[in-house]
Amino acid sequence: MNRIEKRFAELSSKKEGALIAYVMGGDPSPRLTPDVVRWLVEGGADIVEVGIPFSDPIADGPSIQAAGVRALRAGATPASVLESVRAVRRDSDVPLAAMTYYNIIYSRGVPDFLDAAAAAGLDGLIVPDLPVEEASQLAEAARGRGMDLVQLAAPTTSDARFRAIVDCSAGFLYLVSLMGVTGARGSLGEGALELVARARRHTGGRLPLAVGFGISKPEHVRAVTGAGADGVVVGSAIVDVIAGSLDDRPAMARGVSSLVSSLKAETGPYRR
Which sequence positions are flagged as catalytic? 49, 60
Report the candidate in 260, 244, 209 with the shortest Cα–Cα distance to residue 44: 260
Report the candidate in 206, 212, 213 with the shortest Cα–Cα distance to residue 166: 206
Q: How far apart are CA 132 and CA 150, in angstroms?
A: 10
By CB atoms closer than 10 A (0-12, 13-18, 19+), residue 99 is buried
Q: How far apart are CA 62 and CA 68, in angstroms?
A: 10
Q: Answer yes or no: are the C-beta atoms of 260 and 46 closer than 8 Å.
A: no
HSE-up of residue 206 (Cα within 13 Å, Cβ side): 10
Q: To the nearest 10°, the Cα dihedral for 228, 229, 231, 236?
A: -130
Q: How far apart are CA 156 and CA 178, in angstroms?
A: 9
